[in-house]
C-alpha cells in the first residue's frame, strides 16, 4: 500500500512515521540483498552449466573407447594441458540409518553387559556417545560407522556390526565443484566462491 511500510510484526506504518535512520537501513539492506540474490542466481546457473559441460566432456571422452555413460556420475578431476588450472567434481553422499540400528544398539548393550565385569565404564560412555543424536535428532553416522573399525572378536559384537552395515542407506547426494589454480611452487590453491574466504 502506497505511503505505508510493514513493520516486523506485520503492522502497516505510515512512511512519515518511520524514523529516517530506519528508512535508510531498510533501503541499504534491500539493496544489498537484491545484489546478493542476483549473485546467488548467477552461481546456481554457473554450477548447473559447469556440471552439464563436464558431464558432456566425460561422455565425449568415453566415446573414444566405445563406452556409453549413463546414470549418476561420481568424482571427476580435469586439468588444463599445462596443469595450471584444475576442476574437481566431488559427490558426497549423506547416509542415514533405518530401524536396524536399534537392533545393533541392543546387541552392543548386551556385549557390554556380558563384559561388564572386565570392562571399564568409559567403554559404555564411548558407545553411548556414538549413538547420541545431535540437536537435529540425527545420529552421527561417522561415529557409529567408526565402531566397525574396532577389532573385537565376539560373535555378538560382529552380529551388531553386521546390523549397523545393513541399516545404512544413502539418503541423497550433493555435488560440489572445486576450482584450483597452481602456484609457482606447484601446489594448487582453491579459487574461492565462498564470500567468507575472499
Q: Quick one: pLDDT at residue 181? A: 95
Strands 85-97 and 188-190, bridge-based pairing: unpaired
Choice among 9-13, 62-66, 72-76 with the minimum mean pLDDT? 72-76
Q: What is the pLDDT of residue 38?
A: 96
Choose among 172, 125, 164, 171: nearest CA to 146: 164
State the angle between helix axes of 155-167 and 100-115 in degrees (0 to 180), rounded to the nearest 10.
160
CB-based contact 15:5 (threshold 8 Å): yes
Band (pLDDT 50/70/90 cuts) for residue 67 is confident
Question: What's the mean pLDDT in 140-146?
Answer: 83
Say whether 178 sits in a helix, a strand or coil.
strand
Higher pLDDT, 40 or 141: 40
Give the pLDDT of residue 124: 72
Mean pLDDT of 16-34: 96
CA neighbor of 168 nearest in space, from 192, 139, 198? 139
Contact between 177 and 50 under an 8 Å Cβ cutoff? The reply is yes
How does DSSP assign 59-97, residue by residue? HHHHHTTT----S----EEEE-TTSSEEEEEEEEEEEEE
For the full predicted model, state whether its pTM sits above 0.85. no
pLDDT exceeds cutoff 60 at 70: no
Express each pLDDT in 151-184 by its tens digit.
888 888 889 899 898 988 888 888 889 999 999 9
% of the chain exceeding 90 in pLDDT: 39
Other C-beta atoms closer than 10 Å to the C-beta of 54 total 18
Q: Which residues contact 62 (CB under 8 A, 6 or more apart)?
A: 68, 69
Query: pLDDT per residue over 37-59, tens digit each?
Result: 999 999 999 999 999 899 889 88
Amino acid at each position: 500500500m502506497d505511503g505505508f511500510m510493514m513493520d516486523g510484526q506485520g503492522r502497516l506504518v505510515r512512511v512519515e512515521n518511520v524514523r529516517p535512520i530506519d528508512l535508510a537501513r531498510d533501503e541499504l539492506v534491500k539493496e544489498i540483498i537484491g545484489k546478493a540474490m542476483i549473485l546467488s542466481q548467477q552461481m546456481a546457473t554457473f554450477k548447473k552449466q559447469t556440471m552439464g559441460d563436464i558431464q558432456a566432456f566425460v561422455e565425449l571422452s568415453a566415446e573414444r573407447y566405445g563406452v556409453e555413460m549413463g546414470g549418476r556420475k561420481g568424482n571427476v578431476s580435469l586439468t588444463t594441458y599445462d596443469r595450471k588450472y584444475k576442476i574437481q567434481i566431488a559427490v558426497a553422499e549423506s547416509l542415514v540409518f533405518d530401524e536396524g540400528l536399534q537392533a545393533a544398539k541392543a546387541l552392543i548393550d548386551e556385549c557390554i553387559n556380558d563384559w561388564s565385569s572386565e570392562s571399564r565404564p568409559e567403554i559404555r560412555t564411548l558407545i553411548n556417545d556414538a549413538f547420541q543424536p545431535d540437536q537435529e535428532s540425527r545420529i552421527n553416522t561417522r561415529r557409529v560407522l567408526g565402531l566397525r573399525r574396532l577389532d573385537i572378536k565376539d560373535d555378538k559384537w560382529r552380529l551388531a556390526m553386521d546390523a549397523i552395515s545393513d541399516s545404512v542407506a544413502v539418503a541423497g547426494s550433493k555435488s560440489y565443484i572445486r576450482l584450483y589454480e597452481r602456484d609457482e611452487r606447484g601446489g594448487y590453491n582453491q579459487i574461492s566462491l565462498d564470500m567468507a574466504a575472499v
